[in-house]
Structure 1
Amino acid sequence: MSTPEPRAADSTRDPAGPWSGGVDHRLREDVLRLLDTAQDGVLPIVQLGHPVLRRPALPYTGQLGDALPLLLEVMRSTMVAAPGVGLAAPQIGLGLRIAVLHDPGFPAGYEEAAAERERAPLPHRTLVNPRYEGVPTPGAVRDDGSRRGVERRSFAEGCLSFAGYQGVVARFRSVRLVAQDEHGADVDEIVTGWSARIVQHETDHLDGVVYVDRVETRSLMTNDNAARLWGGVPTGQVGELLGFHVE
């Protein structure tokens, strides 16, 4: 089956709930056929090199109607099975501005790593039409008591669409997230730490940006080598040894 592509206009639209547009019946049927190919509720994840990962996704305006919950269910199942902590619609071949997130956090015994990364469990959530901007972290102050400005933190991350590899990316420590949820309700909040990193990574996908576009290239490595050679080594020390910048 060809990759289902959203259409900018369609004469067969009907009003669709809280969204400003309407149902694109042809796209809805394409998506339903795609979902029918899922094995045990899981779809293949598109890999780097596919053009859908490089095209900015279209805003979601209600095109899928009552098929949206079905899509979100399969996206969540696909993300968890991978396993991953986020999945954007282009990663299953659908160019709409929709992403799902969920992070169970580090297991017991990794409290130091969790604290360093400010990684707390993130419940399942859906982002529709998200955008972000870097902001100062609430309550963050310098040694002299002055408020910190916008900060970036460097940590390794991976991508389900570039399987088997990871690399260090400097991202905003805190972002202002503006989006909608799966019901069309407005979202406007400050997100900090690892959850902010996930928001940035998945929103980038919706703009045709993959993490390797932002990565410190000398930090790229296989997941096997990351675990075998660098497990437990601080990011700054890895940067010194491999010759890449760390913020």
Structure 2
Amino acid sequence: MPELMPIMQLGNPILRQTAAWVENIPDEHIQKLIDDLMLTVAQANGVGIAAPQIAASYRLFIVASRPNLRYPNAPVMQPTAMLNPRIIAHSPEIVKGWEGCLSVPGIRGLVPRYQTIDIAYTDRNGKLQKQKLTDFVARIFQHEYDHLNGVLFVDRVENSFDLISEVEYQETIINKR
């Protein structure tokens, strides 16, 4: 039975660690961790969540783009568990976009990310998958991938003027006052 897990907040040392490679994907503990992540990201209105965010230092995250209160214009996709993910190649184009994080509540940042990435990961069934991701879904992948290396989106903003409160973001950017 999946459990709703507490989300670690900025300042918790696990968010700054490099996560461990997942060795035994069929393991009951890893499969339950995937289910817990799926439930937690859905309940928190996130579009992605990484295992370190629920205090499990593994190279595992969920990409779960869908419109919700935090991201009303997100594209719809099937929530996907990505284990031991890698970026194989990326486009030269870097685009700034607004990001938030379940571990950094109340703040959004304008973060530069690659527009298009080629990725590889192992799915929850142990099968190697390769995909090309673009735009918002590529941004989610890069954001979650950073979590596996102890990097938060606030580390990537170019200056403090690229930070905004969640309230101001919702009123100014989403609702376009």
- TM norm structure 2: 0.89
- 1:101-145 C-alpha deviation (Å, 9 max, x unpaired): 1111379xx7xxx5xxxx531211010011215523xxxxxxxxx
Q: Which residue of 2 aligns with 1:223?
A: 166
| Contact kept in structure 1, 2:15 and 2:150, CA below 8 Å | yes
| Contact kept in structure 2, 1:99 and 1:127, CA below 8 Å | yes
Q: Which residue of 1 aligns with 2:13?
A: 51
Whole-angstrom distance in 1 between the partners of 2:114 and 2:76: 19
When the two chains are superposed, the root-mean-square deviation of aligned CA atoms in Å is 2.1
- 1:24-77 C-alpha deviation (Å, 9 max, x unpaired): xxxxxxxxxxx9xx8xx3111000111111110010001771222221111111
Q: Which residue of 2 aligns with 1:122?
A: 77
Q: What is the one-letter code of the residue matched to 1:83?
A: N
| Contact kept in structure 2, 1:105 and 1:122, CA below 8 Å | no
Q: Which residue of 2 aligns with 1:95?
A: 57
Whole-angstrom distance in 1 between the partners of 2:131 and 2:4: 31
Provide the aligned length of Structure 1 versus Structure 2.
173
Whole-angstrom distance in 1 between the partners of 2:68 and 2:27: 36
User: What is the aligned counterpart of 2:110 among 163, 168, 172?
Assistant: 168
User: What is the aligned counterpart of 2:43 among 76, 81, 85?
Assistant: 81
Greater strand share, 1 or 2? Answer: 2
| Contact kept in structure 1, 2:25 and 2:31, CA below 8 Å | no
Whole-angstrom distance in 2 between the partners of 1:210 and 1:133: 21
Task: Look up the SS of the partner of 1:168 in the other structure.
Answer: strand
Percent of aligned pairs with the same residue?
Answer: 31
Q: What is the one-letter code of the residue matched to 1:152?
A: I
Q: What is the one-letter code of the residue matched to 1:77?
A: L
Give 1:82 deviation, angstroms. 0.9
User: 2:4 matched to 1:61?
Assistant: no
- TM norm structure 1: 0.65
Determine which structure has more spread, i.e. the larger CA radius of gyration. 1
Q: In the superposition, relative to structure 1, how do residues 204 and 165 fare at CA in structure 2: closer, same or farther (>3 Å)?
A: same
| Contact kept in structure 1, 2:65 and 2:77, CA below 8 Å | yes
Q: Which residue of 2 aligns with 1:190?
A: 132
| Contact kept in structure 1, 2:25 and 2:126, CA below 8 Å | no
Whole-angstrom distance in 2 between the partners of 1:106 and 1:62: 33
Q: Answer 1 or 2: higher relative contact order, Cα 8 Å, separation at least 6.
A: 2
Q: What is the one-letter code of the residue matched to 2:148?
A: L
Name structure 2 gaps, 5 residues minimum.
none
Q: In the superposition, relative to structure 1, how do residues 213 and 134 fare at CA in structure 2: closer, same or farther (>3 Å)?
A: farther
Write the mapping of 1:99-118 to structure 2, written as runs, cut at 5 A: 99-105=61-67, 114=73
**Runs of 4 or more consecutive aligned structure 1 residues displaced over 4 Å after TM superposition:** none
Whole-angstrom distance in 1 between the partners of 2:85 and 2:37: 17
Q: What is the one-letter code of the residue matched to 2:169?
A: A
Task: Look up the SS of the partner of 2:33 in the other structure.
Answer: helix
